[in-house]
Amino acid sequence: MKSYPIFAALAASVLMASASAAQFQIDRSVMNEAYWKFWNDKVQAKIDADIEKYRKADAMVEVAAPDGAEVKVEQLTHAFHFGASIFNFNQLGTKERNDRYKALWRTLFNSATVPFYWKTLEPKAGAPRYYAAKEDSEEFWNACPSPERQPHWRRPPPGDIIDYLRPLGVRIHGHVLVWANFYQNPAWLWFEGCPDDEKRALEEASGVKFPRSGEQERLSPKEQKRFSNRLLDAAWGKVFDKMSEEEIVALVPTYFKNLEKYYESHVRDITRRFGDRVDSWDVVNESAAVFKRLGGKSVRGKPFDKARYGADGVCGQPMPADYAFKAFKWAQESLPERAVLSINDWNKSATYVKQIEDLRAHGARVGMIGAQMHLMNPKASTEIEKNISRQPDAIAKRCRLLSKPGLPIHCSEITVTAPDRTKRGEMIQAIILRNFYRAWFSVEKMDGITWWNIVDDCGLSGEPVLSGIFTRDMQPKAAYFAMDDLINREWKTRTVAKAANGKVAFRGFRGRYRLTWKGADGKEQTKVIDVK
């Protein structure tokens, strides 16, 4: 147990802010009776027992206090990671809203997922948006009448966010290094990576015409999006239907070689530039379905996966079969040992577990398992309220499966959408959030939970408008109070212990603590420790 001479002013602000927030009151009547039959007292007692077992630890601390002196014990920070994506950094329209948004990483969250999506990070080859230009400034967004129509909406430069977060002691999680998805990769990968003769060969094979080299400079952002999302996807789809993987590679051999070269350069540049400032990374995103179709092999098998865009989230990007393994190889060669390398997926199946085990068997330094849960459709919350889906035993079963590799689990992208804008709808969202968080927090291998869209109507096109814990003008919803109540009240240890033989003993949630007492001379003394 390491001690510190004095606690940070930041921790004090956390305590003051949490004390001022209204306590959450559950209105059980908004949920169907069937819901409470499953989320019953017995289930809640089991969750409480597991939280006590896995999230707390005993502490014995030396204090220069007389026997019998009262020692005030205050938890300052959590070891567990409570986070959110910070994708609307300086984008909410007014300085007041932006300040309230950013302050959440002093009063509620101790972890932030920072965007590294390649398509918007480097829309022009060789000119990455690591730090803010004029169009990324708070002034730009405050004057923007339709921010959601901007191509860099929800994609602020990562360097500025990291500069803000580092002094706060927040865990910084980078998302994502490699995602084999047309919708997240820049159009110039095709323009610059594929020679014109190979472009013509693909045109002839598919019957789809698209711009040549150099023409991308004349395309507007909207036209580039249309190109990469539709034309190229359609071209690959047509050849996928009538040619084998080997024939397709022979059709555009230079493109495949360049594609891997560009990906490696991309991963190495980001990791070398930010490796000492980012604590953990989603190295690969949503690759389990590809792994399954490639025969359950990470380093051998078919040349690439021919799947079209569909329910499994794959979007036709003709990536080499071993791209997930190579992404980890590049990342771990460039990152320090202390960096946690994560794999991330919505596919929380046995296939995902098998992929993780196979990657590790071949030397990939997978150190954390990312598990997504996006309830995008408001009807999903209604189904839960009526107890049609996502019962506690199903959550426990899924967590047991993901715990098999023995790695920390990160609930990496959490979306729970309110069914409507009514107070009842907001309460339904809050109750679902509260019970899900409690269930996840009770899992032994769970390392953190990350909420996705903090603010209503601030997702990407097609994402739900009521999935925030704040309204669009940054007013707290019931879901915020439910989350704050858990993190800053139910799961914060504050107690008074008695000194004996120069020591004080207590049990509390893992994290950093401040101990305060009066010495034999009557003067107040403090000590800051970590309980692990």
| pLDDT reading at 386 higher than 60 | yes
**Greater pLDDT, 136 or 223:** 136
Average pLDDT, the chain: 90
H-type alpha helices, 185-252: 188-193, 196-206, 221-226, 232-242, 245-251
Return d(Cα 178, Cα 297) in angstroms, integer.
Answer: 18
Tokens 């302050």 found at: 103
pLDDT band for 231, please (50, 70, 90 cuts): confident
The per-residue pLDDT for 8 is: 38
The per-residue pLDDT for 316 is: 60
pLDDT band for 249, please (50, 70, 90 cuts): very high
- What is the sign of the dihedral through the CA atoms of 290, 293, 296 and 298? negative
pLDDT band for 181, please (50, 70, 90 cuts): confident
Tokens 């996006």 found at: 374
- What is the sign of the dihedral through the CA atoms of 86, 417, 404 and 181? negative
Neighbours of 325 (CB within 10 A): 23
Both tokens assigned to 243:
């040619």
Tokens 């032994």 found at: 444
Closest CA to 161 of 134, 193, 138: 138
The per-residue pLDDT for 218 is: 73
Return d(Cα 63, Cα 532) in angstroms, integer.
Answer: 18
| pLDDT reading at 425 higher than 50 | yes
Strand-by-strand arrangement of the 524-531 sheet: 3-4, 524-531, 511-518, 70-78, 494-498
Q: Among the listed ranges 35-39, 170-174, 294-298, 447-451, which one has the minimum average pLDDT value?
A: 294-298
Tokens 């990576």 found at: 193
Neighbours of 57 (CB within 10 A): 15
Q: What angle do CA 482, 426, 370 make, to 5 degrees?
A: 60
Which domains, and CATH codes, for the chain? 21-50+78-179+257-491 (3.20.20.80)
| pLDDT reading at 97 higher than 70 | yes
490: DSSP letter:
I
Written as one string, the DSSP assignment of 372-428 is EEEE-SHHHHHHHHTTSS--HHHHHHHHHHHTTT---EEEEEEEE--SSSSHHHHHH
| pLDDT reading at 11 higher than 60 | no
The per-residue pLDDT for 217 is: 66
* Residues 384 and 34 sit within 8 Å (Cβ to Cβ): no
How far is Cα of residue 530 from the mean position of the Cα atoms in its chain?
Answer: 25
pLDDT band for 418, please (50, 70, 90 cuts): very high
Length of the chain: 532
* Residues 80 and 441 sit within 8 Å (Cβ to Cβ): yes
Q: pTM of the full predicted structure? A: 0.93
Peptide bond preceding 176: is omega within 30 degrees of 0, i.e. cis?
Answer: yes
Return d(Cα 232, Cα 206) in angstroms, integer.
Answer: 10
What does each C-alpha distance from 129 to 49, 125, 272, 529 come to in angstroms?
Answer: 47, 11, 16, 39
- What is the sign of the dihedral through the CA atoms of 264, 447, 107 and 4? negative
pLDDT band for 312, please (50, 70, 90 cuts): low
Q: Which residues contact 157 (CB under 8 A, 6 or more apart)?
A: 129, 130, 131, 132, 133, 136
pLDDT band for 213, please (50, 70, 90 cuts): low
pLDDT band for 304, please (50, 70, 90 cuts): confident
Average pLDDT over residues 424-449: 97
